[in-house]
Every structure is written in C-alpha cells, then in structure tokens.
Amino acid sequence: MPWVTKRFSGDDLSEPAGMLRDGYCVAFPTETVYGLGANALDSEAVQRIFAAKGRPADNPLIVHCCSVEQVCLVARPWQERVQRLMDTFWPGPLTLVLPKQPVVPLTATAGLDTVAVRIPDHPVALALFRLAGVPVAAPSANVSGRPSPTRVEHVMDDLDGRIPGIVDGGPTGWGVESTVLDCSVYPYRLLRPGGVTFEELSAYAEVELDPGMFSETIASPRSPGMKYKHYAPECRVVIVTGRQAAPVIRKLAAKDMVLGKQVGVMAFSEHSARYPHLTVLDLGSKYALQEGASRLYHLLREADALGLDILYVEGLPEKELGMAIMNRLRRAAGYHVIDSERD
C-alpha cells in the first residue's frame, strides 16, 4: 500500500509507537544502522516488513527488545555462558541466536525454531520500544540488497511512500550491522561479524567462524540471510587485496578509463595520494577503523550518486572491526576479489 511517510523526531515518539502497536512498520535509528520495525509477535505486521523491503521470506529477522524480561518472552531459557555475553555486550551490537518461544511467529524466523535477539544501545530505539510495549522485529531499513541506511536520507531514498513512519535520530554510530552469534550450538558460531568482534567474543566462549561468512557458494543453513547479495550499490565493486593493491588498481583503472568508464577508489586517507587521477572515496584513517565502518555504506551510496561505473576498494586486514568491513565489502563486490600478489 502506498503511504505518505511521516517523519518524526526522536522526542516525538507516541505516534510512531502507536503505529507499531497497530501492526504497521516504522523506521528508527539504532547504534548500528537504521532498522525497519514491526511488532515481532504479530505475523501480519512482520509480513509488512518483508513487503516494504522486498525481502525474501526465507531471510529471518532480528527481534529487538528493550529489556532482558522482554527477551525471556521470545527466547527459551539460556545457559550461564549466554547470560555472561548478555551482561557484557548488551545493550550493544551483538545479536544472539537462541531457541525460540512458540509466541514468535514463524514468519519472523523464516520457519526456524531459533530466534535472533538483541537489545540495541540507542536511546531513541529503546524509548520507542518501551512506549510500543512489544518486542520489535527489525531488519535494516533499506530496499533488500541495497547498502544499509546510516542516515535518515538513506531511509527516505529507499522507503519513502512504502512505510507510514520514520523516526529521525541523525547518523547512526557503528555503521555496520550487529554481530550475529549462533548460541544454539557449541562452540558458538559467528554468522556475521560486526561491532562486537570475534576477538572480544573469544575471551568469553569458544567461537567458530561460519564458513558462510566467506563465500556465497557455501550454503549455510544456520544463516539463511547470508546467501543473498547484499549491501550493493549500482556500480561494480572490485576488491584488490595484498601489498601490490595500489599499482594493480591504477593499472586496471587506466584500462577502464580508456573504455570511457567512470572509475573511483575507496581507500584509507593515508593511501589517497596513491591515486592522483582517480576519484577517491575516503574511508578515514587506517588507525581508526570505526570511522571507516561508519562511513562505509554512505560511501557505497555516494559511488552511485557520483555516477561511478566501477569502484575499486583496497582490501583491509581481516581482524577486529576489519573483519566486519571486509565481510560487507565482499558481498557488495559479489565476491569479486583480486589478489595483487598472485601473478
């Protein structure tokens, strides 16, 4: 149904909370990216999220709660080890996959008997959930497949007219989606890297990396959403890894430009001088990866706004937050990665 999308400020939450209670979708800020929420306990409301985003029905949603009491409503009782993770990282960018309570509709979990839950660390999101009084199922507030929204304008670009309300909370913090950790198996499985890092989690429990994190060809029944193309701008994205990345990118870009293509490079500030004749999208300092994470999706949208045909990206070390950034970039690139040190 087409809507005249209403925009609310963070201190004007009673109407959007009413929309959630009445079974409609509202976009809201979190500390990771903007989410598109609906009452997680109402199957029809949840279906409206899938319709607004054009999201495949077999990609389950994260249920957002404002308290551990609310988490008890949607997830079955958990072990002490899980409690420690909650105590340490909540509220925050960590989603835990746990056996679900029957009250959670299968539309929200894509038919799985587990539910993904988290308590976000954003005052507007928490106030909205408290006022609505229900757990809120919410994927990122973008059209499916597009880069996630980190600014309210990104949400408007994708969903204006497709949802009744958007709460404006300014730019989001982390800029990449939450870490997803499957706690229904042990060792726990890292399904998606994010702001809470593999290294941090490993200090509390044994954690394995899910093979689906690295490849589109490895089907991961544990994380159905990871098989879809994600985070992609219109332009072609190519990642170049290794020590020879800069000369390889310059050579490839020169060839593209001869063919009349608009070419850009995404690189750390310290490396921008390596590309004197190219449009450089600045990922911030390589010593402040958090800056890069928070800019990533805006820069991918910017690549389209600039009319680029091809965007080369310097690969970055896959540790700490770099693991999450590379995970998103690999998907944005459709897994097109060139190793500059091979032949």
Does residue 70 belong to the site contacting Mg ion (CB under 5 A)? no
Does residue 37 belong to the site contacting ligand AMP (CB under 6 A)? no
Minimum distance, C-beta of residue 197 to ligand AMP, in the bound complex (Å)? 17
**Residue from 37, 60, 92, 315 that binds ligand AMP (CB under 6 A)?**
60
Does residue 29 belong to the site contacting ligand AMP (CB under 6 A)? no
Does residue 59 belong to the site contacting ligand AMP (CB under 6 A)? yes
Integer Cα distance of 118 and 53 in angstroms: 21
Does residue 327 belong to the site contacting ligand AMP (CB under 6 A)? no
Residues 6 or more apart whose CB falls under 8 angstroms from that of 107 comprise 43, 46, 47, 50, 57
Contact between 99 and 76 (Cβ < 8 Å): yes
Query: Phi and psi of 203, rounded to 5°?
Result: -75, -15
Residues 6 or more apart whose CB falls under 8 angstroms from that of 217 comprise none
| Contacts of ligand AMP in 179-208 (CB under 6 A) | 180, 182, 191-192
Minimum distance, C-beta of residue 225 to Mg ion, in the bound complex (Å)? 7
| Count of residues of this chain found to bind Mg ion when the rule CB under 5 A is applied | 2
Minimum distance, C-beta of residue 140 to Mg ion, in the bound complex (Å)? 3
Integer Cα distance of 151 and 44 in angstroms: 28
Minimum distance, C-beta of residue 35 to ligand AMP, in the bound complex (Å)? 8
Instruction: Retrieve residue 166's tokens.
Output: 């958007």
Does residue 149 belong to the site contacting ligand AMP (CB under 6 A)? no
Provide the 10 A C-beta neighbour count for residue 334.
14
Does residue 109 belong to the site contacting Mg ion (CB under 5 A)? no
Does residue 223 belong to the site contacting ligand AMP (CB under 6 A)? yes
SS3 86: helix
Name the residue type at position 142: N
**Residue from 40, 96, 116, 181 that binds ligand AMP (CB under 6 A)?**
116
Integer Cα distance of 108 and 227 in angstroms: 18
Name the residue type at position 256: D
**Residue from 39, 70, 109, 140 that binds Mg ion (CB under 5 A)?**
140
Pairing of strands 136-137, 62-64: antiparallel
Taking contact as CB under 6 A, which single stretch among the options 22-30, 54-62, 161-169, 248-256 is the one that binds ligand AMP? Answer: 54-62
Name the residue type at position 232: A
User: Which residues sit at the interface with Mg ion, rule CB under 5 A?
Assistant: 139-140
Site residues, ligand AMP (CB under 6 A): 59-62, 97, 109, 112, 114-116, 139-140, 177, 180, 182, 191-192, 222-226
